[in-house]
Structure 1
Amino acid sequence: IEPSSESIVRSALSQFPHGDEEWANQVEARYPLAAWIASPKETRWQRWQRVSSRLDSEWMALLDLDYLPIERISELADNAPESVKQVFSETITSILRADPDNLLRSWPAIDPTHANRGAAWLASHFIENSAWLPKEAYPDILGWAVEAWLSDPPKESLGALIGLKWLYGFENKPQEDFNIVMNRIRDVGTELAEGHHLNTWSRLYDFSFGNRDNNLDDIALFIRDLPNSWWAPFSSEFLIKIVNSSEAVDYLDAEIPWCSVILRPIGEISDAPGLSSISHKGCEPGLLPHLQSFIRKIPDTPSSYSFNHILDLINAIESAREEKTPLVGRTHKFSGWLAQPEDNWPDFTMKMMMDGDINISERLILGKSGFHAGLSEIDDSVKPLGS
């Protein structure tokens, strides 16, 4: 903001958010930003058409989509920066879940294979929120919306991927049809830039079916971009890879609830779309010596939440191996019980289960124990920490 405009902008801010149309009209020619800030929400769209060329596109975030012509939403999104689209996403989701009929009319009447970024972004929201849309719209979602989305998928596309999985299941579509569309999305994802969420998912997809090697760069992307439950079946393998790397401490900066990810029942299916044939193999018994060796090599174990997850996992596995009551956990008092047979669990109250890391709370509430016979058969040469 130029110094000469500061006082007028402050005046505009004092009128936000209700605005003053007459005052905004008077200052628009000389002070477009002040006029924009002071605009009532009902007239913002008209003013944006007049002053947008003189403002940074970030200011688009002040638009109220409830007062925007429906057919202009995809056009607006096509020119919006990512930060603004994130703001709009919340509003679009609320509208679709409360009163979708009007918004459904905003589907651009264009060839979906040539949809612009805005149309692809809007289509991804239709797919993501398909459970809230009328059933009559489902054929169009599976047709136009999917085509438009994949023509230029936005970076934040996991919601659409989850929505598509739900829709195929709800419509009882053949598994073969779903596999075909997953393979197509995988092909699209591999062509996208690293860091795009569909690209990260496509890497996990390829790794899951033996078409990609296990490497630290991919693991870092999985941990950063994807829900823990999607890569949980490979979590023991990933953690072994991490703790044996020279950059282990850096990789473990992420706050991953390792107990809740690794200590899962053998056979639990991955939640990732397209990976329903992939199941958890249970905690790898050979993981413990790797973790113990890693901790012993660190002169001063960091007192951080992420390392507390590692220490809780070690405690849980050691307790299962020695068939003793687990110690009180650092991230959750009862984290160690995830490695104990469910029949041995105390009668946890809801308050007890909710007192700590929410991911561990969820597993306790579900009654999902990660115990298996292999945990109590770990080689006796493995010594507990501190021994």
Structure 2
Amino acid sequence: MVTGMSSKRIRSNYHKRILEWLIDSGGSVSDVAQALDLRMPHASLALSQLRESGDIIRDDQTGIRGAIHRITAKGRERLELDAIACLERYVGEIPEGKDAIVLDSNGPMLLLGYVNNAPPSLLPLPFDPSDYDSNGELISIGNIGVRWATVRNTQPRWFDLKSFKPAPRQELQTKGTLEDWTEKNQHIIVVRAYLFNFEKQWNLAPGTWYSVPRNVSSLPNGLSDGANLLGKVIGSEFQIYPSQSIHANLTSKLDTSLAINALSSDAIIIRDYPVKRENKSLPIGLIDFWIRKQHPRMDDEKIMILQKSVKSFLSDKGAHNIPISIQRALIRDFGDCIWSDEINYQIDIKGFSENGASSLIEYFLSLNTYDVIVEWIWPLNPHKKTLERLIQSRICRLLITKSGNTSDISNSPFLLRSLPKIGQVELVISREQSIKIELSKKSGEILANNVHDYVPLDTIELNRAFTGDGWNLGMMTGSTMNYLEREKLWAALEMYPGGDEDWANRTETDYPLASWIATPSENRPLRWVRIKENLPNGWVELLPLKETPTRDLFEALSRANPEWQNEVLLEIQERFERNHEELIGYEDLLKNPQLSGWFSVVVLLCSNKLSIDFEDLIESSLEVWLDSPRFAIKILSNLFPISESETIPRQRNLELCLSASKVHPKDSILYCWGEFVDSLITNNPISLEQSRKYMDILPFSWWLNQGYEWLKIQLNSTSGRNWLSQKYLPWPAIISRTQGEKCGPPGYQETFTTKNLDSDDLLHILIVEQGVGRDSLLDTYEMIFSNEQKQKLPLGRSHPLVCLLVRDSSQWPHIDISILELGDKDVASLLFARYYRECLLND
């Protein structure tokens, strides 16, 4: 149905064409005139009129001549009102079997409407609507197929079919059946498109309805005649096989890897691999080009002599010698590598300089034999000519640059840019044309049967979630990965714990975590060496302790959780205690800033098992450890055991530790220990706050002898009672020790003095507020009170038999090892030890 012309239409054809052309980006007067085939005066006048109406603006910062014009929000609104006017004029009753309409046409610039379904960014258009049936199938004999267009870089707009008012994007509905033309058809999607090959005119007039062609066989030239599948056009089954060079500027590492993998078949890949490749091999022929860069003014004869001597030196180091300056320059430009006459198809540019990489590219350009994919990680301008030669050559499949603008390299046939969603890119064909692609996945991959939204965040979650019969998804919290990363990880999890070494090898470069999980346990030590820098934190714990070399375990410690650190330290400690001589082989770690602290910990843990020959090593390790005192409780207890007599080296180490403790944070274990020992040595009183700090930070075994007095002091203050209620301590086991028991902090040996336990001293326990510490305190009071009153043994809260601790052991019932399975472990241990010594041994 055709209605009267709306006042919303843009009446000037020049104005409309210019506004539509400026949708994609700005342009000068000459750009507009050339692109739209207008005379300069006409273009200049039209732009002037559009500026006056506020539809465009001009950037005058660099002068009026050559100034860039850009469309304004008002200009875009004017184009949208024009589109709505086209809808009002041409869209009425939809012909049966048709699902698209031509709304406007200005040369290659089209305005199209699609019923209910948003089209992909690559559009097939019929030469003649009568060539296709209602399902979009080709029916005419002698037809000439389809024309192609691309959706321009503007969002498709949804409109209500009845009111032509803007509507939100709708879910896709079914296609190609009679049900499409029922009451479900409530929306029309308006898109702006740009024709391929406009020199061949498209004769569909505005208002023409047609069926979208389906099952088309050939895409536009350059998009379908290549050998490698880059990906599919998003929202379609159109597969893109580019035949021309692509210049990519991708913001995502995953997009980079996917693009490289998609185009990598039989190509030489020159890239900055995520994981450093071992035994890097380079073609020795590139030395010819490198030498010329090194000595641009040297005559040809001398160049050839130098090239020959350098290549001879690299291929057989004993045959010729070359100046040290050249040897250093080789290492500077290429890093550590092996030189060979063979071509390595995977060349890692880690350690390269831009000069070395440029020489490598020039070498392959000279061969003109191998297709190449190049990742250029340096500035563009210093090597612009080389990169332009590469992108214009027949051997370049893909050039990926990391800095500068893609426009810095001229004449790139295609440009590739990342889209916000990982794995999706925009292939830019020209200023006006681009298509949105989902990058293909490497063929032959093992895919996960199920890809869940969550994955294990670390080894701890993996172990908790793994049940043997499947995975407990409720134990997984990792949710930051994109779909492709999750897919790889779930493929790896489905192989766990047995793994698949071949699959792990194939995925190591691009998906190191998935590779790590899929690696059989016995092979992980070797893979750790290769990919440790690329693994996220929390996954080193999959290393098998027994099979992993000691030095690798040291390197893994800083990335492990505390529980695994304890296991690693115990494993290394056992190795050194079994073979003291092995320890000497690792003395160099004391000079390693990253590992010296961990090595010193192990040495000090072993110190009481080492002979006098290791005293210097122990002292050196202690000096290192005091800078960063890890595992302070274990180390101090090991250095100054309460059961051994004092020696001169031990006394010297004690003085060193006490002196160093004073410079550490006041809430650290080392500082509190040093302050406590110093107070005991000098017989200085300990304040309420100090005692509370010591009880909070230091093991109670270090202050057993002071525990009862400290408890009474805390009970006599409000702040002390509040603190006691919120701090759990096994008070019955602390105050009920045996007379003469050895105790005290490391470095200050004491013997426990039996206290005169009186319930009146502890009466304030009854007003301690509810908290985690209250049950233990109540047990302490009832234990003493019931004994004083000669009452029946109460049932304890922290342990059923806790009240036995203050009663004569002759009254105790029979106790066996099962007591250790009940209640507080410290109370249970003391009960068992007392029963064993006082009841079994004395009998």
Q: Going by fraction, where is strand more abundant, 1 or 2?
A: 2
C-alpha deviation, 1:360, in angstroms: 2.4
Quote the residue 1:377 is aligned against.
none
Q: Which has the higher contact order (CA 8 A, sep 6+)?
A: 1
RMSD of aligned alpha carbons: 3.5
Query: Against the structure 1 CA distance between its residues 25 and 215, is the aligned structure 2 distance closer, same or farther, given a 3 Å change threshold?
Result: farther
Q: What is the aligned counterpart of 2:604 among 127, 139, 161?
A: 127
Q: What is the aligned counterpart of 2:512 among 19, 32, 37?
A: 32
After TM superposition, list the pairs within 5 Å mapping 1:327-342 onto structure 2: 327-342=794-809
Query: Against the structure 1 CA distance between its residues 128 and 111, is the aligned structure 2 distance closer, same or farther, given a 3 Å change threshold?
Result: closer
Quote the residue 2:209 is aligned against.
none
Q: What is the aligned counterpart of 2:814 among 335, 344, 348?
A: 348
Q: What is the aligned counterpart of 1:110 among 575, 584, 588?
A: 588
Does the alignment pair 1:240 with 2:240?
A: no
The Cα offsets for residues 231-255 of structure 1, whole Å up to 9 and x where unpaired, read as 1111012212322333323443232
The Cα offsets for residues 181-208 of structure 1, whole Å up to 9 and x where unpaired, read as 2222222233233454333322332333
On the 8 A contact 1:155/1:198 being kept in 2, the answer is no
C-alpha deviation, 1:102, in angstroms: 8.6
Does the alignment pair 1:306 with 2:791?
A: no
Query: Against the structure 1 CA distance between its residues 188 and 345, is the aligned structure 2 distance closer, same or farther, given a 3 Å change threshold?
Result: farther
Q: What is the aligned counterpart of 2:747 among 274, 277, 280?
A: 274
On the 8 A contact 1:236/1:284 being kept in 2, the answer is no
Query: Against the structure 1 CA distance between its residues 117 and 315, is the aligned structure 2 distance closer, same or farther, given a 3 Å change threshold?
Result: farther
Distance across 1 between alignment mates of 2:641 and 2:492: 46
Distance across 1 between alignment mates of 2:681 and 2:523: 54
Q: What is the aligned counterpart of 1:204 among 676, 687, 705?
A: 676
Distance across 1 between alignment mates of 2:650 and 2:597: 20
Distance across 2 between alignment mates of 1:102 and 1:266: 39
Does the alignment pair 1:47 with 2:514?
A: no
The Cα offsets for residues 343-364 of structure 1, whole Å up to 9 and x where unpaired, read as x533433268555433223333
On the 8 A contact 1:71/1:105 being kept in 2, the answer is no
Quote the residue 2:658 is aligned against.
186
Query: Against the structure 1 CA distance between its residues 141 and 87, is the aligned structure 2 distance closer, same or farther, given a 3 Å change threshold?
Result: farther
Any unmatched runs of 5+ in structure 1? 369-387
Distance across 2 between alignment mates of 1:19 and 1:217: 55
Quote the residue 2:637 is aligned against.
162
Query: Against the structure 1 CA distance between its residues 89 and 340, is the aligned structure 2 distance closer, same or farther, given a 3 Å change threshold?
Result: closer
On the 8 A contact 1:203/1:212 being kept in 2, the answer is no
Q: Going by fraction, where is helix more abundant, 1 or 2?
A: 1
Distance across 1 between alignment mates of 2:641 and 2:582: 19
Quote the residue 1:283 is aligned against.
755
Quote the residue 1:89 is aligned against.
566
Q: What is the aligned counterpart of 1:64 among 526, 529, 544?
A: 544
Question: What is the one-letter code of the residue matched to 1:91?
Answer: V
Does the alignment pair 1:21 with 2:501?
A: yes
C-alpha deviation, 1:68, in angstroms: 3.4
Q: What is the aligned counterpart of 1:258 among 718, 731, 734?
A: 731
C-alpha deviation, 1:87, in angstroms: 0.8
The Cα offsets for residues 103-160 of structure 1, whole Å up to 9 and x where unpaired, read as 9347533385x564523323323432456x5xxx423554313421441344213222
C-alpha deviation, 1:5, in angstroms: 0.8
Secondary structure of 2:588 counterpart: coil
Distance across 1 between alignment mates of 2:634 and 2:585: 19
On the 8 A contact 1:92/1:125 being kept in 2, the answer is yes
The Cα offsets for residues 72-126 of structure 1, whole Å up to 9 and x where unpaired, read as 443444xx14x446413313414543783399347533385x5645233233234
Query: Against the structure 1 CA distance between its residues 168 and 103, is the aligned structure 2 distance closer, same or farther, given a 3 Å change threshold?
Result: farther
Secondary structure of 1:209 counterpart: helix
Query: Against the structure 1 CA distance between its residues 350 and 64, is the aligned structure 2 distance closer, same or farther, given a 3 Å change threshold?
Result: closer
Secondary structure of 1:292 counterpart: helix
The Cα offsets for residues 304-346 of structure 1, whole Å up to 9 and x where unpaired, read as 663121112112222444455553333233323322344x533
TM-score (norm. length: structure 2): 0.37
Moved more, 98-107 or 140-149: 98-107
Secondary structure of 1:110 counterpart: helix
Query: Against the structure 1 CA distance between its residues 142 and 177, is the aligned structure 2 distance closer, same or farther, given a 3 Å change threshold?
Result: closer
TM-score (norm. length: structure 1): 0.75
Question: What is the one-letter code of the residue matched to 2:728?
Answer: E
C-alpha deviation, 1:178, in angstroms: 2.8
Distance across 2 between alignment mates of 1:16 and 1:111: 35
Does the alignment pair 1:2 with 2:474?
A: no
Query: Against the structure 1 CA distance between its residues 75 and 95, is the aligned structure 2 distance closer, same or farther, given a 3 Å change threshold?
Result: closer
Any unmatched runs of 5+ in structure 2? 1-479, 836-843
Question: What is the one-letter code of the residue matched to 1:238?
Answer: W
Distance across 2 between alignment mates of 1:218 and 1:107: 44
Distance across 1 between alignment mates of 2:712 and 2:633: 27
On the 8 A contact 1:41/1:67 being kept in 2, the answer is no
Quote the residue 2:305 is aligned against.
none
On the 8 A contact 1:128/1:160 being kept in 2, the answer is yes
After TM superposition, list the pairs within 5 Å mapping 1:362-381 onto structure 2: 362-367=829-834
Distance across 1 between alignment mates of 2:632 and 2:792: 43
Secondary structure of 2:704 counterpart: helix
Quote the residue 2:699 is aligned against.
227
Question: What is the one-letter code of the residue matched to 1:293?
Answer: H
Question: What is the one-letter code of the residue matched to 1:59?
Answer: W
Return the index of the structure with the highest Cα Rg: 2
On the 8 A contact 1:72/1:106 being kept in 2, the answer is no
After TM superposition, list the pairs within 5 Å mapping 1:169-180 onto structure 2: 169=644, 174-175=646-647, 177-180=649-652
C-alpha deviation, 1:162, in angstroms: 2.4
C-alpha deviation, 1:292, in angstroms: 1.3
Distance across 2 between alignment mates of 1:58 and 1:140: 38
Query: Against the structure 1 CA distance between its residues 347 and 251, is the aligned structure 2 distance closer, same or farther, given a 3 Å change threshold?
Result: closer
Quote the residue 1:382 is aligned against.
none
Query: Against the structure 1 CA distance between its residues 146 and 268, is the aligned structure 2 distance closer, same or farther, given a 3 Å change threshold?
Result: same
Quote the residue 2:433 is aligned against.
none
Distance across 1 between alignment mates of 2:806 and 2:812: 13
Distance across 2 between alignment mates of 1:291 and 1:305: 18
On the 8 A contact 2:733/2:826 being kept in 1, the answer is yes
Query: Against the structure 1 CA distance between its residues 102 and 8, is the aligned structure 2 distance closer, same or farther, given a 3 Å change threshold?
Result: farther
Distance across 2 between alignment mates of 1:108 and 1:168: 30
On the 8 A contact 1:126/1:145 being kept in 2, the answer is yes
Secondary structure of 1:252 counterpart: helix
Question: What is the one-letter code of the residue matched to 2:481?
Answer: E
Secondary structure of 1:68 counterpart: coil
Quote the residue 2:213 is aligned against.
none
Secondary structure of 1:58 counterpart: coil
Query: Against the structure 1 CA distance between its residues 362 and 53, is the aligned structure 2 distance closer, same or farther, given a 3 Å change threshold?
Result: closer
Query: Against the structure 1 CA distance between its residues 142 and 250, is the aligned structure 2 distance closer, same or farther, given a 3 Å change threshold?
Result: same
Identical-residue share of aligned pairs (%): 21
Q: How many pairs does the alignment contain? A: 350
Query: Against the structure 1 CA distance between its residues 364 and 48, is the aligned structure 2 distance closer, same or farther, given a 3 Å change threshold?
Result: closer
